[in-house]
Amino acid sequence: MALTFLQIELPGEANSAAMPAATASMAEPTQETLSIMDLMLSGGIGGQIIMLLMVLLSIAMVYIFVNRMGAIKRANKIDPQFMKDIKDHVASGNVQSAINLCERSDSPVARMILKGLTRIGKPLQDISASIENQGKLEIQRLERNLPYLATIAGGAPMLGLLGTVIGMILAFQEMANAGGGVQIDMLAEGIYVAMTTTAAGLVVGIFAYFGYNFLVTRVESVIYKMETSSTEFLDLLDEPV
């Protein structure tokens, strides 16, 4: 008698066999990440031009800040003994020694006092006017290129916004050309690429803004020392003999 074995496939076993294939087909989509350089170059020709301008503005900003910082730091180095020595020389009638001391000191205060020393013998108002004129020249030297830094602080965000507007226009133009095949990822890609220029403009503008205000504060500190020293010198000349 032959025995016949029936092979019965259970529903659970069929589902178990189908699970790997289903799992493979339901694999999570990979997320594409872009580097900063990719974002900078993905905005089309208009966005690339804006980003190039941002790079140039960044270089100019760093150059102006470092250059002015060095000049202001040198101008702020004033020997505390300088004015005391000037007073001693003038009080003793040794004006030439005071002039020599000013010529050896490379600072705005020394140049202002030197201008006043060369006018000794003239009316006090003339001496004061010559010192004031020299002070204006020194302030102009200290503030050189600072307006450019202020322009970068205000102009960089505006350029970034312009790049964003251009990018948004191009993104909507591409969606219009796509007709009914517009997808949400197409819109999202166009938006985040366009926003890159605004972010870059804000970064450059913020650094330029804080750098400008920091330098202005340092310049005002030097100006205060210049005014104090010139007042001391004029008071010395105005003292009764």
What pLDDT, on the 0 to 100 scale, is given for residue 41?
Answer: 55
Please tell me the pTM assigned to this model: 0.74
Overall size of the chain counted in residues: 241
* Contact (CB, 8 A) for 109 and 100: no
- The closest alpha carbon to 102, from 83, 119, 120, 74, belongs to 83
Alpha carbon separation from 163 to 45, 157, 170, 188 (Å, rounded): 10, 10, 11, 17
Average pLDDT of the residues in 29-51? 60
What distance in Å separates the CA atoms of residue 128 and residue 208, rounded to the nearest whole number? 37
Closest CA to 201 of 191, 209, 190: 209
Neighbouring CB atoms inside 10 A of 43's CB total: 24
* Predicted local confidence at residue 7, as pLDDT: 44
Q: Is the pLDDT of residue 40 over 60?
A: no
For 240, list phi and psi in degrees, rounded to 5: -65, 140
Asked if pLDDT for residue 10 goes beyond 50, the answer is: no
- Residue 16, pLDDT score: 47
Q: What is the per-residue pLDDT across 139-156, written as a single tens digit (0 to 9) for each? A: 999 999 999 999 999 999
Q: What is the pLDDT of residue 153?
A: 96
CA dist 70 and 8 (Å) reads 89
CA distance 196 to 54: 11
Q: Alpha helices of the chain — where are they, by DSSP H?
A: 11-25, 36-41, 44-75, 82-91, 95-104, 108-117, 124-142, 146-178, 184-238
**Mean local confidence (pLDDT), 84-106:** 89
> pLDDT at position 181, please?
63
Where helices occur in 105-183 by DSSP H, the ranges are 108-117, 124-142, 146-178
Where does the pLDDT of residue 8 fall: very low under 50, low under 70, confident under 90, or very high at 90 and above? Answer: very low
CA dihedral (218, 224, 226, 229) positive or negative: negative
Could you tell me the pLDDT band of residue 241, with boundaries at 50, 70 and 90?
A: low
Mean pLDDT computed over every residue of the chain: 80
Helix (H, G, I), strand (E, B) or coil at 233: helix
At 172-199, the pLDDT tens digits run: 777 777 766 666 766 666 677 778 888 9
pLDDT at res. 21: 43
Per-residue confidence band for 18, with pLDDT thresholds at 50, 70 and 90: very low
